């Protein structure tokens, strides 16, 4: 059984496996070389040979326990024929929504458009580098994708003023997302992903009263679907105010926590396996601080099923040698 499965399925507390969100990417010089030659980010994600290579880069350097496919949550709206571009220094820019076209789209056309991702997962999961490790596939949560689709850019701190104005449109988009996220999940699992992570990057934007409609129910639908395919599912409802309520309602197999929550409260509140927590900014400090902060999480969760990770993605200015130091420290714990 692979390391993350040991923790998630067997609730093993002896081993603390480690992988890092955004472990493949901007902080690695070998990734930056590839990126320089490939300015179109979506095209890069859909280049199965390069995305395979990028996915495996961190595992060739560090003793990580899982590969996570190099892709993006916005591959989904792209597959739904919404225009998606990444502008340097600005982030994602999405085109207008043609909901009628989205409703007409069939599974075959969608899969064909983003098929290189599934081919890359096949290559990664059968690579010798990933032997006895996990291969993680992922999707954006319905709420976070809805935010990008309607907002047409990163909300950072605020949504468009009239974001919730067209309730009918929102309902239709959520239906489309439910259908195609399941198709995307199924294809990732069929290609060799043996864990699915659901990223709800903008969960923290909602008020309590809106959580059932936009987070609990849509995410629960996906969680139940992944479970029906006998695959463990990790949810990351970033900056949600109440992780306990989320876990009790959505019932993922494991939950990834952000760095703004108190890990001791999480330990007391949550029975399921836990992942993550360390602030990525800690990796920009000195080794003593890194050691102290890392040990804090490992100590708190020492008798709880725990996967070491950060509370968000690794920052581009992180020194790869520090990543090596971090991974070794977790392994030696």
The share of the chain scoring above pLDDT 70, in percent, equals: 100
Q: Please, where are the H alpha helices in 210-277?
A: 211, 217-228, 243-250, 263-269
Going by their DSSP bridges, the two strands 195-199 and 84-87 should be labelled as: unpaired
Residue 95 clears pLDDT 70, i.e. is over it: yes
Rounded CA-CA distance 188/201 in Å is 20
- 202-231, pLDDT tens digit by residue? 999 999 999 999 999 999 999 999 999 999
pLDDT of residue 171: 97
pTM over 0.95: yes
The share of the chain scoring above pLDDT 90, in percent, equals: 97
Rounded CA-CA distance 61/286 in Å is 21
pLDDT mean over 102-122: 98
Q: Please, where are the H alpha helices in 126-216?
A: 142-151, 167-190, 211
Q: Cβ distance 94 to 82 under 8 Å?
A: yes
pLDDT of residue 157: 66
- SS3 state of residue 274: strand
Rounded CA-CA distance 105/37 in Å is 33
- 113-171, pLDDT tens digit by residue? 999 999 999 999 999 999 999 999 999 999 999 999 999 999 986 788 899 999 999 99
Strand-pairing partners, residue 44, are none
Rounded CA-CA distance 246/244 in Å is 5
Q: Cβ distance 253 to 273 under 8 Å?
A: yes
**Which domains does the chain carry?**
3-332 (3.20.20.210)
């Amino acid at each position: 059984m692979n390391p993350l499965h040991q923790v998630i399925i067997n609730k093993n507390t002896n081993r603390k496996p480690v992988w890092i969100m955004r472990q493949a990417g901007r902080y690695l010089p070998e990734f930056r070389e590839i990126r320089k030659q490939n300015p179109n980010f979506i095209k890069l994600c859909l280049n199965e040979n390069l995305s395979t290579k990028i996915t495996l880069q961190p595992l060739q350097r560090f003793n990580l326990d899982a590969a996570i496919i190099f892709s993006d949550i916005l591959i989904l709206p792209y597959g739904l024929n919404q225009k998606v571009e990444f502008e340097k220094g600005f982030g994602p820019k999405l085109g207008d929504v043609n909901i009628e076209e989205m409703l007409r789209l069939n599974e075959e056309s969608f899969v064909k458009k983003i098929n290189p991702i599934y081919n890359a997962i096949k290559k990664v999961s059968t690579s010798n580098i990933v032997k006895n490790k996990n291969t993680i596939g992922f999707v954006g949560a319905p709420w976070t994708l809805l935010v990008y689709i309607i907002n047409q850019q990163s909300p950072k701190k605020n949504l468009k003023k009239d974001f919730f104005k067209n309730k009918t449109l929102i309902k239709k988009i959520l239906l489309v997302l439910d259908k195609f996220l399941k198709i995307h999940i199924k294809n990732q699992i069929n290609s060799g992903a043996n864990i699915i992570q659901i990223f709800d990057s903008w969960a923290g934007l909602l008020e309590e009263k809106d959580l059932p409609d936009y987070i609990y129910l849509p995410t629960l639908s996906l969680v139940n679907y992944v479970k029906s395919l006998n695959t463990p599912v990790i949810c990351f409802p970033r900056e949600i105010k109440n992780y306990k309520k989320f876990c009790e309602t959505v019932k993922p197999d494991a939950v990834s926590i952000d760095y703004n929550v108190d890990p001791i409260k999480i330990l007391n509140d949550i029975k399921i396996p836990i992942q993550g927590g360390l602030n990525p900014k800690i990796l920009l400090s000195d080794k003593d601080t890194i050691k102290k902060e890392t040990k804090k999480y490992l100590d708190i969760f020492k008798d709880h099923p725990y996967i070491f990770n950060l509370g968000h993605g690794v920052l581009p200015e992180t020194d790869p040698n520090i990543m090596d130091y971090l991974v070794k420290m977790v392994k030696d714990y």
